[in-house]
Chain A
């Protein structure tokens, strides 16, 4: 058995813009995701980073087939899930689950926590009523809540607790892949640390694979094995975490890393922050999509679209001046802070 769980090839989602009432004419095409390829290995965390509107969340939903792709293939253990339907699709749903960004919108306010967590098991007809109840209690304990919480409603919990409930719901059917769509960006930093560490614990214990979507690079550095950087519907760089942080090869990755606040001003990098806004995916720039904001852009960048080769999509990868960034100091410090917070929180946690 190969150790590749998820294999995404050339995945794209285009939203046509139509105008006219009777005979709708297509007047444009929003390329939300435009030809993305990556793989996720068993037990691995692949982080997808990029600024707002670059297609991260769309990619997440495409991978789970919550929306239909325009083109491309999503292989899950070798099966193309974009072709599935009926029972086969339902079987896939059992193996891939999602954790959402907004803990306040992701739980049905009319259901108790127990009903929320048990529902996926009911849908997939796992066990009987008694074993499901036992499983709910087990899951609640697994995510750091108490069994008696099952009778409560979602509004009685804090954001971090709700996120734990969302995680318990995702885990109730025993998935292999969990897509985390910015699971901690709506939480306080102290709570973020708890949830991130919980996700890591669970990964080690249950052998989960994560597709982890985030825009906070400090969190990503903490959880990811590999990182894919997205820009305007494309992956511009994909690399092992260490390699990416130590030697970012794409100018956009460098700019992203340079944007991480550093506590010591003298150790900030020499890379200038990016100017301008993300161009519209309705009319993406010609050639390399990043050329409008790239400090190293040359004529060829406006004309030719660089392919993703050897993990980076840039005409001048390898020829750029050294970034001169020092991320390790600040980040390790930040991560250490978070770990300390988590340790403190773990001590006060009941049970």
Chain B
């Protein structure tokens, strides 16, 4: 073998960026596009909306989609397109805020339980206690304390997310804790914070991503359920779940009132799920070639 057989490489091999990896995957590219579109629609709702979402037109109730009302009108003659755009804002904020708050606290608890085994029992029994209350019950209790509204819903959904995230993070962190590179990291004498942030957490990312995307769908549906019970977004505020619930009595006469917001929820959940999967793969250096 001569030296010619070995390529002279002085520079780092060019590695695709995370964005490029995402775009390479069809599902990833489409879901990224849809998620950005959804976020832009929500952000620019006041400018995009054809009319006031609260304006009622009693001469045109339960209109099917047509030239004047692109997505039709609801039982009070309000424009569904306008309500969808504003509802998107509320639903997305509710879902993402509770996921971020609850998920962060939950992940922290999970890492601490896996890393400091002494507090493991205590933390996990606390999580079990939290797990034993249904999210709806938290919503009821918080609505009784703070009064019904979006804040109560977000707090309730965050609390309901904490134990689930904690359990999932703990179990995947325990697997990583048993690997040699954690022991090697300990042998260098680094601080616990550094060890957790640099060696433990990044290797638990895939579990966190998968669970977060699944949970976003659940959280949006739970939020809708709370709104439906009258504990969440208060009428006349538009919220996709609440809109779907309001249309239920007209399901046979004017199905579009329920179907359109439901399709909206479906698209949001699907897009975030696909994006989560694609992001998990794009962030894994083992798959980045």
Contacts and interface: CB of A to CB of B under 8 A. Distances in A.
Nearest to A148: B9
Interface residues of B, number: 27
Interface of B: 1, 3, 6, 9-13, 179-181, 183-190, 194, 198-199, 202-203, 284-286
A102 B180 contact: yes
Q: State the majority secondary structure of interface residues on A.
A: mixed
A66 B183 contact: yes
A332 interface: no
Contacts of B181: 105-108
A173 B13 contact: no
B13 to A, nearest CB: 7
Given A108-B203, A151-B12, A153-B285, A98 B189 contact: no
B180 A169 contact: no
B2 to A, nearest CB: 10
A35 interface: no
Contacts of B186: 66
Nearest to B194: A123
Contacts of A66: 183, 186-187
B184 A169 contact: yes
Given A93-B187, A119-B190, A108 B3 contact: no
Given A148-B12, A152-B13, A109 B286 contact: yes
A350 B6 contact: yes
A110 interface: yes
12 contacts: A89-B189, A98-B183, A98-B184, A106-B179, A107-B181, A110-B203, A111-B198, A123-B194, A148-B12, A151-B13, A153-B285, A169-B184
B225 to A, nearest CB: 36
Closest 9 CB pairs of A and B: A93-B189, A151-B12, A106-B180, A120-B188, A90-B189, A110-B202, A100-B180, A105-B180, A123-B190
A106 B185 CA distance: 10
B199 A94 contact: no
Contact of B203 (A109, A112, A123): A109
A64 interface: yes
Residue from A92, A108, A153, A166 with most neighbouring chain B CB atoms (10 Å)? A108
Contacts of A155: 285-286
A146 B3 CA distance: 13
B285 A109 contact: yes
Interface string A147-177: 1100111010000000000100100010000
B198 to A, nearest CB: 8
A119 B183 CA distance: 14
B258 to A, nearest CB: 45
A336 to B, nearest CB: 23
Contacts of A109: 203, 284-286
A64 B184 CA distance: 11
Given A98-B184, A106-B181, A108-B203, A123 B12 contact: no
Given A97-B187, A123-B188, 15 more contacts: A66-B183, A98-B183, A98-B187, A105-B180, A105-B181, A108-B181, A109-B203, A109-B286, A110-B285, A119-B188, A124-B189, A148-B9, A153-B285, A155-B285, A350-B3
A106 B178 CA distance: 11
A124 B194 CA distance: 13
Given A119-B188, A119-B190, A153-B286, A105 B179 contact: yes
Contacts of B183: 61, 66, 98, 100
A321 B285 CA distance: 60
Contacts of A147: 10
A348 interface: yes
A148 to B, nearest CB: 5
Interface centre among B6, B11, B189 (most CB of A within 10 A): B189
Contacts of B185: 108, 119
Contacts of B187: 64, 66, 93, 96-98
B188 A100 contact: no
Nearest to A93: B189
B284 to A, nearest CB: 8
Contacts of B190: 119, 123
A217 B179 CA distance: 27
